[in-house]
Amino acid sequence: MRLRIALVVTFLLALTAMPAAAQVGITGGGIYSNAAVELDGSSVETNDRTGFQFGVSYATGGIFGVIVGGYYSEKGFEVASTLERARLSYIEVPVMGVVRLPILERVIGPRLYGGVNGGFEVSCSTEGTGLVTAGLCENTNSFDFGLKGGIGLQVLFFGLDFAYTYGLTDVAKEESLKINNRAWSLALIIGVG
C-alpha cells in the first residue's frame, strides 16, 4: 500500500514539475458543416457544405491548460430536396480547457479539449429561392453560441486537431424556422513558444 501511495505522489510531483510553456499558434484547415433545420416544427433534410477555417490560438502550457482562439470559419448547409444553399461565415472565439499527455517532454503529445464557442457572423449569402433560405440573411442572429470539443496531436511545433462544434443557439430569427450550426474541422497548427 505504501508503494502505491509513493508511486502516486511521485507521479503527481512529476506532472507539476513539467515545464509550462505557453504557445501561440497559426491555424488553418477545412470545415465540413451542416445544420439542424426545422421549418414549422418539421425537420428539413440538409446536405453538408465544405469550407475552410484559419486564425490564431493561444494555449497555456502544462498537463492542464486553457486554449483561446480567434478564427474565421465558413459554415452553412444545402437543403436536400431543393437547390437552396446557405453560406454563413463567422469570426469564432472558442475558450476551452485542455488536458495533455506528453509522451516525450515537449516533443510529442496527444491532447483532449472542450469548452464554449462564440461566433460573430461576418457574412451570409444564399442561393436559390425556397421556404428555408428566403430572407434568411436579413433575419439571422449575429451571434452563434455553441460547444466545441476535439482531440489533437502535437509533434514539436506542429499540431493536428480534429474538432466538432455543436451550435446551441438558433441562427434564424423567424419563429417558424430553426437553424443550429454543426461542424467538423480538421486543422494544422504551427506553434511558436
pLDDT of residue 80: 83
pLDDT of residue 57: 94
pLDDT of residue 19: 46
- Environment class of residue 138 by beta-carbon count within 10 Å: exposed (0-12), middle (13-18) or buried (19+)? exposed
Residue 102 DSSP class: -
More confident residue, 28 or 174: 28
What are the structural domain ranges in the chain? 21-192
CATH number for the segment(s) 21-192: 2.40.160.20
Specify the higher pLDDT residue, 19 or 31: 31
Whether the pLDDT of residue 15 is over 50: the answer is: no
pLDDT per position as a tens digit, 61-100:
888 999 999 999 999 999 888 888 999 999 999 999 999 8
Closest to 46 in 3D by CA, of 174, 136, 147: 136
Residue among 112, 95, 189 nearest 150 (CA): 112
Residue 137 pLDDT > 50: yes
Angle among Cα 72, 147, 78 to the nearest 5 degrees reads 60
pTM equals 0.83
The single residue listed with the C-alpha cell 472542450 is 114
Distance between CA atoms of residues 49 and 74, nearest Å: 9
pLDDT tens digits, 28-40: 999 999 999 998 8
**pLDDT exceeds cutoff 80 at 179:** yes
Contacting residues for 192 by C-beta, under 8 A, at least 6 apart = 23, 24, 25, 157
